[in-house]
Structure 1
Amino acid sequence: MSNPFDFDQILNRQHSDSIKWQKYANQDVIPMWVADMDFASPPSVVTALQKRVAEQVYGYGHESTDVAEAFCDWYSRRYHWQIEPEWIVWLPGLVCGLHAVAKAFGSPDSALMTHTPVYPPFLKLAERNQQLLQAVPMLKPDQTGSGWQLDFDAMAQQITPQTKLFMLCHPHNPTGRAFTREELEQLSDFCLEHKLLLCSDEIHCDLVLSEQAHIPMASLNEQIADRCISLLAPSKTFNIAGLACSAAVISNPILRKQFKRSIQGFMPEVNILGFVAAEAAYREGEPWLDALREYLKENLTILTNWAKSKQQVKFTAPEATYLGWLDLRAYEIERPAQWLLQETGVALSEGSDFGCPGFARLNFGCPKAQLLAALTRLDQVLS
């Protein structure tokens, strides 16, 4: 079946306000770093935004029951997770949500635990909230014989009475793991045993590319749901991060009240266009998303075959996200992304920023021509 959406279209973002492209403005660089796709957003989102902008009045606004209904329906239909509208706390971004969780539920000298590699803001949460960081390395594919896995033995060894929070990235950025039910249940048991609150960043949940279905952490059982703060957003799914609309889902009314109180007065409201885009995406964006995932699978096949041709490049295909985590340790360069930028003009994300020197992250959420051009350049040194 032909794809009704043109993901091969090259959008010239070089002179736009794009962080991804402006970082290397006026340089011969192909940016494949930040998790921002080079695709047009769904037509339904563009149409809804144009209609709202045409109203010509942009005063103070608030979330409508319509956007909450669309949000709840999306997670019910796709993940069999029943969210009540009153559980939702709207946020102007997911990273500020991570910090809000650390602020609301941690305290000076308490500790939060996470895993490495991990999305870089996770590694800043403790420091910026006067807390202790317990970053537990994941088991690597060369240790497990399969994919990246949480190291529960190491977690048990590192936990202390000061540990109050576990911060989970699920699906996992940067490795692309879509954790199985068994893994999530083991993590649930760990958090319940040690009386930890669990914050689950599930921003990439709609971008599972394998047969492994995404399982929302809070949908596992009532016990972990009662201790869970889920962070969700349409931003990665529909390429609308610049519209800054995210949500914390907290079913426990005591935790939800505490969270709301902690952000009151310093967290800005979601902008009105963010709500418009979110509602349109959740109501009408599913056909676009289905087509996108098929296109990303094709790009992943290209990347996987390319990596197989490189004896010193180790690559485990992600089960989710449009992010490829390249193991370049064989080159014995601590910052391979910096080296590749200098040698080839391809900008990747540095592994050490995720807590894993010797690795680099490549964003394959782009037209095939751009991906192939980047891989051709990388061939110059990764022979």
Structure 2
Amino acid sequence: MQKPDLTTNDLAADFLQCPDRHDTGAEKWDRYQGRTTATGKEILPFWVADMDFQSPDVVLDAIRKRTDHAVFGYTHETPGFASTLTTHLREQHNWQIDPSWVIGVPGIVTGLSITARLLSQPGDGILTLTPVYQPFLFLPKLAERRSVRVPLHADVTAQRWTIDWELLEAALTPDVKIFWLCHPHNPTGKVFTREELLRIADLCEKHGVTVVSDEIWDDLILDGSNHIPFASLDHPVARRSITFVAASKTWNIAGLGCAAAIVPNKDLRHQWRQAGGGLVPMVNPLGYAASEAAWKDGDAWRQKLLNVLKYNKQCAVRAIQDIPGVSCIPPQATYLLWIDCNEWIARQPPDRNQPQHVCEEAGIGPSNGPEFGGSGYLRLNFGCPPALLQEGLERLRDAFGAYETSGQ
């Protein structure tokens, strides 16, 4: 039986207002600072993956308590950081880890850079499934490694993203040493199934590849799927894998610079700091305090957030379905919509077939798909108050509708 649609009556009031983020150094809002459309409208930002909601009181209280201490020296993992994360992963994802596996890192991009050094040599390949979060594509080159890209397949009939297993195995050549897995997947919102994860593990075991799993979106599942941590599998590749998690996406604290690497293998843990030598700063002490509070006491707020994101997803998917030549596969997780504009592009003359430009002209600023390895796509962030999203969706309809008409 289909669940009834959510309405704004189902949403907590805290999520209905958008704080003014102008003049706070907010990267998301500063991109279009001072830029307007031809009709004088401000370009609304729907690009970078942070949300336009205030963080919960439990997080703010923890930050205030830490600032009251008034000393902000060099800081390693705080006493409750690993144990709180351990409890959170057990309760939310049925994954029992040992607290000794946890290493604080200032961000997952930093962590990925360390794994390139730790698990491979210059010239080796690092494989990932595309489209994908931009650093997965450019970090290998910065580390003098080779980026190996296997495209996901959009199964429009089944409304899901799938792996081409023949392509994947063909890409696992002897020089490929690492599989960077984004799970749940950014930008498609795919949640990998247990069967898919086990098949990835089998292939990586066969070809001697180590899996590094970015699971920063693990607490933002929107469709009832279960997030299965890769390292929770009963598989030798899982036991030698490295997992990254963070409270940053779910509780909107990305600017505090705190994440966790989970490294079950003792030898890899010992090698970790050497691999990051000269590369990795210490974690912000406020990041430790905020993350610990979010994992420990932030679930009630998270449940309210999920209601808002489910409602926003519902509205955004329906809006896309009403635009000729534009489509999307509904995301299972994240607050990101991966929009296929290729049919629309094919209908337009060459001088006006750029979706990003069309959107900005109409006053909406999504992310440009080619940045993620997705030609002809846009990524739309719906992690914002519903009223702001509705304004953005109206501008999206106006943009593509106007050009659809003029292009005929």
Q: TM-score, normalised by structure 2?
A: 0.90
Q: Report whether the alignment pairs 1:355 with 2:373.
A: yes
Match of 1:40 among 25, 43, 54: 54
For 2:48 and 2:254, locate their aligned partners in 1 and report how far apart those are by CA, in whole Å: 11
For 2:75 and 2:164, locate their aligned partners in 1 and report how far apart those are by CA, in whole Å: 45
For 2:354 and 2:234, locate their aligned partners in 1 and report how far apart those are by CA, in whole Å: 41
Cα shift at 1:222: 4.1
SS in 2 for 1:277: helix
For 1:3 and 1:158, locate their aligned partners in 2 and report how far apart those are by CA, in whole Å: 45
1:332-370 CA distance string (max 9 Å, x none): 2774223311x2121111110111110000000000011
CA contact (8 A) 1:335 1:357 kept: no
For 1:60 and 1:133, locate their aligned partners in 2 and report how far apart those are by CA, in whole Å: 35
1:177-196 alignment to 2 at 5 Å? 177-196=190-209
For 2:11 and 2:390, locate their aligned partners in 1 and report how far apart those are by CA, in whole Å: 20
Structure 1 unaligned spans of 5+: none
Amino acid at match of 2:247: P
For 1:296 and 1:176, locate their aligned partners in 2 and report how far apart those are by CA, in whole Å: 13
Cα shift at 1:106: 1.2
Cα shift at 1:170: 0.3
1:262-312 CA distance string (max 9 Å, x none): 013431110110111011111110000011001100001101111121221
CA contact (8 A) 2:324 2:344 kept: no
Amino acid at match of 1:131: R
Cα shift at 1:54: 2.2
Match of 1:81 among 72, 95, 111: 95
SS in 2 for 1:332: helix
Partner of 1:369: 387
SS in 2 for 1:213: coil
For 1:60 and 1:172, locate their aligned partners in 2 and report how far apart those are by CA, in whole Å: 33
SS in 1 for 2:185: coil
Cα shift at 1:381: 2.2
Q: Report whether the alignment pairs 1:346 with 2:364.
A: yes
1:3-26 CA distance string (max 9 Å, x none): 555100121012211000111112
Partner of 2:159: 146
Partner of 1:121: 135
CA contact (8 A) 1:5 1:291 kept: no
Match of 2:251 among 217, 220, 238: 238
For 1:336 and 1:72, locate their aligned partners in 2 and report how far apart those are by CA, in whole Å: 43
For 1:50 and 1:70, locate their aligned partners in 2 and report how far apart those are by CA, in whole Å: 19
CA contact (8 A) 2:84 2:295 kept: yes
Partner of 1:98: 112
Structure 2 unaligned spans of 5+: 1-8, 36-41, 347-352, 402-408
Of 252-261 and 300-309, more deviation after overlay is shown by 252-261
1:322-337 alignment to 2 at 5 Å? 322-332=335-345, 335-337=354-356
SS in 1 for 2:211: strand
Amino acid at match of 2:32: Y
Amino acid at match of 2:332: E
For 2:345 and 2:320, locate their aligned partners in 1 and report how far apart those are by CA, in whole Å: 17
Change (3 A) 1:3 1:330: closer
Partner of 2:404: none
CA contact (8 A) 1:335 1:351 kept: no
Partner of 1:283: 296
Q: Report whether the alignment pairs 1:227 with 2:240.
A: yes
Amino acid at match of 1:74: H
1:308-319 alignment to 2 at 5 Å? 308-319=321-332
For 1:127 and 1:285, locate their aligned partners in 2 and report how far apart those are by CA, in whole Å: 38
Cα shift at 1:219: 0.3
For 2:241 and 2:325, locate their aligned partners in 1 and report how far apart those are by CA, in whole Å: 40
Partner of 1:218: 231
Partner of 1:24: 32
For 1:246 and 1:6, locate their aligned partners in 2 and report how far apart those are by CA, in whole Å: 26
For 1:97 and 1:185, locate their aligned partners in 2 and report how far apart those are by CA, in whole Å: 24
RMSD: 1.5
For 1:185 and 1:146, locate their aligned partners in 2 and report how far apart those are by CA, in whole Å: 22
For 2:79 and 2:155, locate their aligned partners in 1 and report how far apart those are by CA, in whole Å: 45
Cα shift at 1:330: 1.3
Change (3 A) 1:4 1:299: closer
1:69-92 CA distance string (max 9 Å, x none): 111100011111111111111100
Q: TM-score, normalised by structure 1?
A: 0.96
Amino acid at match of 1:336: P
For 1:99 and 1:308, locate their aligned partners in 2 and report how far apart those are by CA, in whole Å: 38
1:35-63 CA distance string (max 9 Å, x none): 01000001100111112212222223332
Partner of 1:297: 310
Amino acid at match of 2:210: L
Match of 2:263 among 250, 264, 277: 250
Match of 1:164 among 158, 174, 177: 177
Query: Identity of aligned pairs, percent?
Result: 40
Match of 1:261 among 274, 277, 286: 274
CA contact (8 A) 2:183 2:191 kept: yes
For 1:181 and 1:193, locate their aligned partners in 2 and report how far apart those are by CA, in whole Å: 18
For 1:2 and 1:362, locate their aligned partners in 2 and report how far apart those are by CA, in whole Å: 23
Cα shift at 1:259: 2.2
Q: Which ranges of 4 or more aligned residues in structure 1 deviate by more than 3 Å?
A: 1-5
For 1:182 and 1:100, locate their aligned partners in 2 and report how far apart those are by CA, in whole Å: 29
